[in-house]
Amino acid sequence: MSGCTPSGPVCARCPAVLGSSCCEVREGERLATLTRADVARLTAHTGLAARRFVLEEVFSEEEAAGYEARRPLYRGYFRREPVRLALRTTREGACVFLVPGRGCGLPEEVRPVACRLYPFERWPDGSWSVSVGRYGDLAEAREGGEACLAVEEAEDMEAVLAAFGTSREEVEALGARLAEEARAHARG
């Protein structure tokens, strides 16, 4: 197990407590970035054509460089073209693989690596922490719209890891996999 586990104990409570989960976004926001390896795995598992679940977003060269600078696990992702592949959403902003009331409809090993890693993030200085801030108040977290229940309920990084039943080593291994698949993404 690693990060976001939509059918796991914390994630299962998240939509009820916060009003939504990280599998849903507001207008103008995007879900997880996909690599070609993610797309191939999802296509093989679901039998769906990529266009059914992939949204292509064209970045300027500057935006692509900024994205890679902020998120080092994606270094090299835009080397071939400044196009970000993201998970497609329904009109209501939910991931196309989200099953209402049940969580992610995909087995864990099939899910995009970015989904499995969330909310853990590796920063430009090489450190690891979580990608969302902690409001410290559930009503404010609900209002803010970008909160993660596991982060809200945890005192520190160790507690967030424990909430997902994972370890730093497991998270870092998944990060290394994402970094490799992001580099391979640009090779086509």
Residues found near ligand SF4 in the complex (CB under 6 A): 4, 6, 10-11, 14, 21-23, 31-32, 87, 95, 97-98, 104, 106, 111-112, 115, 118-119, 148-150
Taking the complex as a whole, the smallest distance from the CB of residue 63 to ligand SF4 amounts, in Å, to 22
80 or 168: whose CB is closer to ligand SF4? Answer: 168
Please identify, using beta-carbon distances, which residue of 10 and 182 lies nearer to ligand SF4.
10
Q: At closest approach, how far in Å is the CB of 109 from ligand SF4? A: 12
Q: Is residue 144 within 8 Å of residue 26, measured between CB atoms?
A: no
Q: State in angstroms the smallest separation of the CB of 132 from ligand SF4.
A: 7
Rounded CA-CA distance 106/65 in Å is: 31
Please, which residue, 79 or 131, has the CB nearer to ligand SF4?
Answer: 131
For the CB of residue 118, give the shortest distance to ligand SF4 in the complex, in Å: 5
Nearer to ligand SF4, 106 or 179 (CB): 106
* CB nearer to ligand SF4: pick between 78 and 118: 118
* Nearest approach, Cβ of residue 114 and ligand SF4 (Å): 8
For 27, how many CA atoms within 13 A lie in the half-sphere containing its CB? Answer: 1
